[in-house]
Amino acid sequence: MDYISNTAAERNKMLKEIGIKEVEDLFSMIPEAVKADDELNIEAGISELELMRKAQNIAKKNKSLDQQISFLGAGAYDHYVPGVIDALISRSEFYTAYTPYQAELSQGTLEAIYEYQSMISDLTGMGITNASMLDGASAAAEAVTMGARISRRSKVLLPDTINPSYREVIKTYGSGAELEFIDLESKANIIEPELIKENIDEKTAVVVLQYPNFYGSIEKMEEISKITKGNKNIIFVVIVNPILLGVLKAPAEFDADIVVGEAQNLGSGLNYGGPNLGFMACRDNRKMMRQLPGRIVGKTTDIEGKEGFVLTLQTREQHIRREKATSNICTNEALNALMATIYLSTMGKTGLKEVGEQCYHKAHYLAKKIDKISGFEVANKDNFFHEFVVKTKEKSSQIIDKLLQKDILVGYDLKRIDEDGILVCVTEKRTKAEMDNLLENLEVL
């Protein structure tokens, strides 16, 4: 953003207009006792040209994915972002868009959010979608606390196959709601349905599953759903990768109650880790709708019969009685939701299916090849979507460091969560040449 400074003459004119001599006079009401005695150690101002050069020199210390080949996933994914997205969101009416507070004056923004909600409902098979959440982790946490409120119970079954960052956020939110978390331990990177059955009792409020899970594997969703639905008042929460929904069953097909996830992979890019986009949807059920955090945009007609958009639902308590609120999220990710809307509109059902199929087939090609290299073993075997765990004889950190020197980001080091192996991800962007290059480097390590 360009910066245009005021001249001394302009500053003096403004000061004279408001009846003071110096800028410091604006702060005369601050008691001397709390003012700093010494001058702040701040460098003198520089020109715009100097500032741009300084910023560019700092930026050169980073490497972008234009310079590296990424097989990193673990919650943030290197998918292709169609050029039309940047072209449209760079328009001034979108680029500064925030959650509309004078809602009905913001018809364009409301319509974009309405279309986003409609598309997420179509993807997940759920009846109601809110205007978006801050990210996938906070959406998951809100889903768990929402489920506990609906069931009026306090026990949550939380498998270790859920993204560890999500688990931390869920537990942080849950501590304030005095929820009890039962950590379930997986076998061969999935949760056995029998373990869910053994841990369900009359206090169980919520069962949470990730689809696919953190290790890339597909859980036994239908079996676990039957167990969950066999017990009254238990809320089934599913954390889903939306790209997967182009090729596999929607969560509604195995009776999910609340569906959440991270939609960064729908056109937002990686951007050094953010901003992200959480989505949240639930059954078309009045009880659930009243507990849904955030806000919902709806379509209506005015007194002249013209179509228009309004904020259909947002709880007043979020603003005036926070201690009574179902949630204190008073915003949404409007710009990123717009990116997801443009992405889904551009790709369509056929395009999203193709992206999912490419991810799946390329990941399975690479996994089969890695599994044949001495000293490497794919733990998931063939049960995964586009991420898989590679067990290694050599320290995973050493393998990652060696490949990084060749500008290959081979994956996520599971030692960061006290486990062995590397979590490798393959998206539609990876070419056969790039995958074969990785294989050649693994063979000579």
Domain ranges of the chain: 69-81+349-443, 83-343
Contacts of residue 91, Cβ cutoff 8 Å, sequence gap at least 6: none
Residue 1, pLDDT score: 38
Mean pLDDT of 227-247: 96
Cα 37 to chain centroid distance, Å, stands at 45
Q: Are 242 and 276 in contact (CB under 8 A)?
A: no
Helices (H), 131-261: 136-151, 164-176, 193-199, 221-229
* Percent of the chain residues topping a pLDDT of 70: 95
In tens, the pLDDT along 142-176 reads: 999 999 999 999 999 999 999 999 999 999 999 98
Is 70 exceeded by the pLDDT of residue 433?
Answer: yes
Domain at 69-81+349-443, CATH from 3.40.50.720, 3.40.50.740, 3.90.1150.10, 3.40.50.150: 3.90.1150.10
> pLDDT-based confidence at 52, cuts 50/70/90?
very high
Residue 329, pLDDT score: 77
Is 80 exceeded by the pLDDT of residue 445?
Answer: yes
Q: CA nearest 242: which of 276, 197, 286? A: 276
Which amino acid is present at 335? L
Helices (H), 1-132: 8-18, 48-59, 83-89, 92-95, 107-124
Is 80 exceeded by the pLDDT of residue 256?
Answer: yes
Q: Which residues pair with 392 in a beta bridge?
A: 376
Q: CA nearest 408: which of 388, 425, 386? A: 425
Cα–Cα dist 375/352, whole Å: 36
Phi, psi of 211 (to 5 degrees): -140, 105
Domain at 83-343, CATH from 1.10.10.60, 3.40.50.1220, 3.40.640.10, 3.90.550.10: 3.40.640.10
Mean pLDDT of 255-280: 95
Q: CA nearest 420: which of 430, 412, 432? A: 412
Provide the token pair at 397.
């950190």
Mean pLDDT of the chain: 93
3-class SS of residue 308: strand
Provide the token pair at 160.
């270790």
More confident residue, 290 or 258: 258
Q: How many helices (H) and strands (E) does the chain have?
A: 14, 15
Mean pLDDT of 211-227: 98
Question: Among 155-159, 321-325, 390-394, which is the least confidently predicted range?
Answer: 321-325
> pLDDT-based confidence at 380, cuts 50/70/90?
very high
Residue 320, pLDDT score: 65
Is 70 exceeded by the pLDDT of residue 316?
Answer: no
Where does residue 352 rank: exposed (0-12), middle (13-18), buried (19+ CB within 10 A)?
buried
Mean pLDDT of 34-54: 88
Q: What is the H or E stretch that residue 339 is in?
A: helix 334-371
Is 70 exceeded by the pLDDT of residue 86?
Answer: yes
Contacts of residue 149, Cβ cutoff 8 Å, sequence gap at least 6: 291, 326
Phi, psi of 280 (to 5 degrees): -150, 125
Cα–Cα dist 221/236, whole Å: 11
Please report, for residues 5, 23, 45, 388, the alpha-carbon distance to residue 15 in angstroms, rounded to integers and kept in the order given: 16, 7, 21, 64
Question: Among 1-5, 172-176, 194-198, 280-284, which is the least confidently predicted range?
Answer: 1-5
In tens, the pLDDT along 404-425 reads: 999 999 999 999 999 999 999 9
- Cα distance from N-terminal residue to C-terminal residue, the chain: 46
Residue 328 exposure: Cα atoms within 13 Å on the Cβ side: 7
- Nearest-Å Rg of the Cα atoms of the chain is 25
> pLDDT-based confidence at 98, cuts 50/70/90?
low
> pLDDT-based confidence at 299, cuts 50/70/90?
very high
Q: What is the H or E stretch that residue 209 is in?
A: strand 204-211
Cα–Cα dist 217/189, whole Å: 7
